[in-house]
Amino acid sequence: MKAQVATRNSDTAFFGSRNTQSPRRRRGLFLKCSKWVSSIPITIFYFIVLLLLIVKSVYAVELPNNKFGIHLAQPHLADLQKAAELVNGGGGDWGYVTLVMQENDRDRSKWQDIFDRLRELHLIPIIRLATQPQGENWRRPEASDADSWANFLDRLNWVVKNRYVILFNEPNHGSEWGGEVDAKSYAEVAAAFAQKLKAKNPDFFIMLAGLDASAPSFMPGMESEDVFLKEFIEESRNLASSISNNTAIQQCNNLFDCIDGWASHSYPNPGFAGSPNDTGRGTIRTYQWELELLQQLGITKKLPVFITETGWMRTDDHPDNVLGDYFQTAYKNVWLPDDNVIAVTPFVLDYQGPPFLEFSWKKYNSDEFFSQYYAVQAMAKTKGQPEQVDRGQIQVEFPRELVSSSSYHFHVTIRNTGQAIWDKDNGYSLQLENFSHGSYFFSDLKKVVPMEDTDIDLYLKTNSNMGKNKIRIVIMKGNTKIAESGEWLFDIVPLPSLQFDVHLYPKLVAKGNDFEIQIFDANEELVFKRGGIKVAGDNGTVDEIQNIVPGKKYRVVILKPYYLPRQEYTVFQKGVNSVRFKPMLPLDFDRNGHLDSGDLDALIKNPGLIRLLFP
């Protein structure tokens, strides 16, 4: 199966483009190119041709695409789950959902929550813009509405790179356009919205409204699609100069340069009861007739097709088991084999009342679905791999010096500012670039969602090599780098030592070989411990202290059996460090590290400790 569209409107190899150069200019360019080619040795010429063919084949590779989708009347969370089970069933992944967004429902928190849920469920949203009802009609949008829409849509973190947007609904119905069909008005509105959206972000993938191909010419209430499109395209050409003069949108020389795909309402008419084998206008192949009509009207740009509405009405003559067979036939014989078709989102998953109850895939007042749901769910599907924007931030404070042959534990804060969910199972990982003085590992990335901070553990071990290092942390997806930290410059220096003084009360001079030193960092992690240390004349030495960061403060604890521990704070430096402890008191008879009632019990059971500790 061919792929989801993974290019922008500037990728003319996929879409094609209208040649706006004059014939004279094209002839001049041809002559210049001919002279340049003739001056190249034949072997080099063939090499260049071969290289171009290789490059073309590389960039022609398309991403795997799951064409299955469903139209939702309202984006309820329960419906999103059922939509995912439908379109991603049968081994599929990353199917589509068409959602309607009304101008009076532009709640950023609500829609971001919906997009985040779609991301988790691997559903690609196709957003159809809508105004709001005014009496029996939908309010006619105006060109001036484009700014507020573009600002709102651009503030959302979309699910995939392509931000699929449909500019309203069936404007060849007067009821959808303020009560009166007006193709010229729709052209003006579409041009304004296309310009504003493209100026905000070129990732907006813009489609015109799906049209009713079966509507009669009955003005001002309805207009035939062919007549409407002819008037619309004529008006769009009149608007070409105003679009091309907008320097913010250099790729839009005319309205169709801003249009990336074709939204089609390919219903099986008449009466939503046609055969899946019918062809032409007013069938499930309506989109083919529409593409041919566009060609006849001078639109040569190749537009990938998104069938955002289609489906049969359930009647006594067409019960739901028949509709299940119809949908399977349509997918297998028409939509899946057609490389022009990117997505098919039949109307509608759940509609619990008139006028679309008989189109609903969910049963009335029930949690169960009609058999067409299960028939489509069981069909074999492709594991889609839509392109997603991957980027992030890495925050960490690293020391300027480390000591050799030591282990360290650092906390790294990462922020996912892209679209994908970072997870080890999806090929995401952290790495240290250019680290050659030891070994390291990071804790796994698990479900790091966009726009959240996550702390990651870095465990690093230096070897015995001294010297300067220059490394950085990078976040990888497979072999692709998607984020990196600033450079970390540090030296690896020799291990420091510690000299300490300690007194044992009431003895005059401390001695013995059963002392222990423990060192804790600012996070109260034990970074170093050594026992069996010899003390003579109140003095002791600990050589080659590992795991220390020079210049950092540590808590140093000294222990000896039957004595209460003592501690002091010190900032470790390179070379020799020193610390003086307060006298250690012989009161820890139960050897638990602190004074409590257990010490008295231990002393009663072993009175000989008095003579040992108080000579």
Average pLDDT over every residue of 384-397: 96
Cis amide linkage into residue 348, ω under 30° from 0: yes
- Give residue-wise pLDDT tens across range 262-275: 999 999 999 999 99
CATH number of the domain at 409, please.
2.60.40.10
List, in order, residues 6 or more apart from 353 with CB less than 8 Å away. Answer: none
| DSSP states along 194-259 | HHHHHHH-TTEEEEEPP-BTT---BTTTB--HHHHHHHHHHHHHHTHHHHHT-TT-TT-SSGGGS-
Query: 489 with 505, same domain?
Result: no
Query: Which neighbouring-strand residues pair with 101?
Result: 129
Query: 556 with 607, same domain?
Result: yes
Is 173 inside any structural domain? Answer: no
Phi, psi of 559 (to 5 degrees): -130, 150
CA distance 463 to 535: 30
Query: 505 with 609, same domain?
Result: yes
Query: Which neighbouring-strand residues pair with 535?
Result: 512, 540
Query: 485 with 551, same domain?
Result: no
- Give residue-wise pLDDT tens across range 457-505: 999 999 999 999 999 999 999 999 999 999 999 999 999 999 999 999 8
Is 336 inside any structural domain? Answer: no
User: CB 596: neighbour CB atoms within 10 A?
Assistant: 12
Helix (H) or strand (E) holding 468: strand 467-477
Is 576 inside any structural domain? Answer: yes
Do 287 and 341 touch, CB atoms closer than 8 A?
Answer: yes
Of all residues in the chain, the percent with pLDDT exceeding 70 is 85
Q: Is the pLDDT of residue 56 over 50?
A: no
Is 13 inside any structural domain? Answer: yes
pTM of structure: 0.82
Last residue of a domain, one of 64, 88, 108: 64
Contacts for 285-290 with beta carbons within 8 Å, 24 or more apart?
Answer: 285/334, 286/213, 287/262, 287/340, 287/341, 288/340, 289/213, 290/211, 290/213, 290/225, 290/262, 290/264
Average pLDDT over every residue of 190-207: 96
CATH number of the domain at 597, please.
2.60.40.1120
Last residue of a domain, one of 451, 473, 493: 493
| pLDDT in the model for residue 591 | 78
Query: 397 with 489, same domain?
Result: yes
CA distance 387 to 233: 31
| pLDDT in the model for residue 34 | 40
- Give residue-wise pLDDT tens across range 512-524: 999 999 999 999 9
Is 84 inside any structural domain? Answer: no
What is the pLDDT confidence band of residue 88, given thresholds at 50, 70 and 90? very high
CA distance 383 to 3: 10
- Reported residue count of the chain is 615
Query: 565 with 478, same domain?
Result: no
Angle, to 10 degrees, between the axis of helix 108-121 and the axis of helix 77-87?
A: 30
Query: 518 with 574, same domain?
Result: yes
| pLDDT in the model for residue 308 | 98
Query: 503 with 555, same domain?
Result: yes
Q: Which residue has the tokens 């001049």?
A: 28
| pLDDT in the model for residue 596 | 76
| pLDDT in the model for residue 241 | 59
Is 542 inside any structural domain? Answer: yes
- 594 or 370, higher pLDDT: 370
Average pLDDT over every residue of 201-227: 97
Is 227 inside any structural domain? Answer: no
Helix (H) or strand (E) holding 429: strand 428-433
| pLDDT in the model for residue 242 | 56
- Of 41-55, 400-414, 497-511, the range with the highest mean pLDDT is 400-414
Domain of 34, in residue numbers: 1-64
Query: 547 with 580, same domain?
Result: yes
Do 371 and 362 touch, CB atoms closer than 8 A?
Answer: no
List, in order, residues 6 or more apart from 157 with CB less than 8 Å away. Answer: 112, 115, 116, 419, 450, 451
| pLDDT in the model for residue 238 | 86
Mean pLDDT is lowest, of 36-50, 175-189, 509-523, for 36-50
Q: Which residue has the tokens 């690896």?
A: 492
Last residue of a domain, one of 444, 478, 493: 493
Query: 489 with 501, same domain?
Result: no
Is 29 inside any structural domain? Answer: yes
CA distance 339 to 361: 27
Query: 488 with 510, same domain?
Result: no
Domains identified in the chain, total number: 3
Query: 475 with 431, same domain?
Result: yes
- Give residue-wise pLDDT tens across range 97-112: 999 999 999 999 999 9
What is the pLDDT confidence band of residue 14, given thresholds at 50, 70 and 90? very low
End-to-end CA distance of the chain: 90
Do 79 and 113 touch, CB atoms closer than 8 A?
Answer: no
Q: How high does pLDDT run on average in the chain?
A: 88
